[in-house]
Amino acid sequence: MGQIVLVVAIGVGLAGVAAVALSEAGAISSDTSADIVVVSLAATVAIVVVGFVLRRRFRVARDGMFVGLATLGAWFLLLMYALAQDTP
């Protein structure tokens, strides 16, 4: 179970980054990219919660929780960067 948490945490992070990259390349629409990013964020929050609950039983679940927290932090930094680019 812990390995599943870790793999899903890494997978949703990569899916979110891939969605942004494909949107920038013009391969998918920005609406589709936004939908994938929202699903990625929701899955990351779920992984953090599941990893927190299972952290005592499975050591790898704790690692998955930390990967999920790092992914949330990366999305937050990306949001702050995007807001900083908006010029008046």
pLDDT 10s digits, 36-73: 888 888 888 888 888 788 877 777 777 777 888 888 88
pTM of the model: 0.70
Burial 3-34 (b: 16+ CB within 10 A, else e): eebbebbbebbeebbebbeebeeeebeeeebe
Residue extents of the structural domains in the chain: 2-85
Q: Is 88's pLDDT higher than 70?
A: no
H/E stretch holding 46 reads: helix 30-54
CB-based contact 6:67 (threshold 8 Å)? yes
